[in-house]
Amino acid sequence: MDTNRIIEMAWEDRTPFEAINAQFGLREADVILLMRRELKRSSFNLWRKRVNSGVSQKHLKKRNPDISRFNSTSQRTISLNKISKR
Protein backbone atom coordinates (compact mmCIF):
# COMPACT_ATOMS: atom_id res chain seq x y z
CA MET A 1 0.00 0.00 0.00
CA ASP A 2 1.36 3.42 -0.96
CA THR A 3 0.60 5.36 2.24
CA ASN A 4 2.13 8.62 1.01
CA ARG A 5 -0.02 8.62 -2.14
CA ILE A 6 -3.18 7.90 -0.14
CA ILE A 7 -2.42 10.77 2.24
CA GLU A 8 -1.75 13.06 -0.71
CA MET A 9 -5.04 12.11 -2.36
CA ALA A 10 -6.95 12.48 0.92
CA TRP A 11 -5.41 15.90 1.55
CA GLU A 12 -6.52 17.23 -1.86
CA ASP A 13 -9.98 18.74 -1.67
CA ARG A 14 -10.99 17.69 -5.17
CA THR A 15 -10.08 14.02 -4.86
CA PRO A 16 -13.21 12.21 -3.63
CA PHE A 17 -13.13 9.28 -1.24
CA GLU A 18 -14.66 7.21 -4.03
CA ALA A 19 -11.46 7.66 -6.10
CA ILE A 20 -9.32 6.47 -3.19
CA ASN A 21 -11.63 3.49 -2.77
CA ALA A 22 -11.43 2.63 -6.47
CA GLN A 23 -7.64 2.87 -6.57
CA PHE A 24 -6.65 1.42 -3.19
CA GLY A 25 -9.78 -0.35 -1.91
CA LEU A 26 -10.00 1.80 1.23
CA ARG A 27 -13.36 3.00 2.50
CA GLU A 28 -13.76 6.51 3.96
CA ALA A 29 -13.49 5.13 7.51
CA ASP A 30 -10.23 3.37 6.59
CA VAL A 31 -8.80 6.59 5.14
CA ILE A 32 -9.75 8.47 8.30
CA LEU A 33 -7.99 5.86 10.45
CA LEU A 34 -4.91 6.01 8.23
CA MET A 35 -4.81 9.80 8.38
CA ARG A 36 -5.26 9.72 12.17
CA ARG A 37 -2.39 7.24 12.51
CA GLU A 38 0.04 8.91 10.08
CA LEU A 39 -0.52 12.65 10.63
CA LYS A 40 0.31 14.81 13.60
CA ARG A 41 -2.75 15.46 15.74
CA SER A 42 -2.99 19.13 14.72
CA SER A 43 -2.68 18.26 11.01
CA PHE A 44 -5.33 15.56 11.33
CA ASN A 45 -7.68 17.97 13.12
CA LEU A 46 -7.22 20.58 10.38
CA TRP A 47 -7.89 17.98 7.70
CA ARG A 48 -11.04 16.66 9.40
CA LYS A 49 -12.35 20.17 9.95
CA ARG A 50 -11.85 20.99 6.27
CA VAL A 51 -13.38 17.70 5.07
CA ASN A 52 -16.43 18.10 7.32
CA SER A 53 -17.02 21.71 6.31
CA GLY A 54 -19.17 22.52 3.30
CA VAL A 55 -16.13 23.63 1.30
CA SER A 56 -14.63 20.20 0.70
CA GLN A 57 -15.75 18.12 -2.25
CA LYS A 58 -14.58 14.81 -0.82
CA HIS A 59 -17.88 13.12 -1.69
CA LEU A 60 -19.12 12.87 -5.27
CA LYS A 61 -22.72 13.34 -4.09
CA LYS A 62 -21.87 16.76 -2.62
CA ARG A 63 -20.30 18.10 -5.80
CA ASN A 64 -22.13 20.51 -8.05
CA PRO A 65 -22.82 18.54 -11.26
CA ASP A 66 -22.71 21.71 -13.35
CA ILE A 67 -19.04 22.33 -12.56
CA SER A 68 -16.58 20.64 -14.87
CA ARG A 69 -12.85 20.92 -15.29
CA PHE A 70 -11.56 23.93 -17.19
CA ASN A 71 -9.22 23.33 -20.10
CA SER A 72 -7.64 26.36 -21.68
CA THR A 73 -7.44 26.46 -25.46
CA SER A 74 -3.75 27.29 -25.12
CA GLN A 75 -3.15 24.21 -22.97
CA ARG A 76 -0.80 21.76 -24.64
CA THR A 77 -1.35 18.03 -24.68
CA ILE A 78 0.80 15.75 -22.61
CA SER A 79 2.27 12.75 -24.37
CA LEU A 80 4.44 10.02 -22.89
CA ASN A 81 4.50 11.88 -19.56
CA LYS A 82 6.46 14.73 -21.10
CA ILE A 83 4.91 18.14 -21.56
CA SER A 84 5.14 19.25 -25.18
CA LYS A 85 7.48 22.14 -25.77
CA ARG A 86 6.26 25.18 -27.64
79: in domain: no
Cβ atoms < 10 Å from Cβ of 31: 20
> In this predicted structure, what is the pLDDT of residue 16?
86
19: in domain: yes
43: in domain: yes
10: in domain: yes
> In this predicted structure, what is the pLDDT of residue 36?
95
> 59-68 — which CB contacts under 8 Å span 24+ positions?
59/16, 59/17, 59/18, 60/16, 60/18, 63/16
Length of the chain: 86
83: in domain: no
> In this predicted structure, what is the pLDDT of residue 58?
67
pTM: 0.62
Domain that residue 13 falls in: 3-62
For residue 19, pLDDT beyond 90: no
CB 6 within 8 A of CB 33: no
User: Which is more confident, 57 or 22?
Assistant: 22
22: in domain: yes
pLDDT band at residue 52 using 50, 70 and 90 as cut-offs: confident
- Name the domain count of the chain: 1
32: in domain: yes
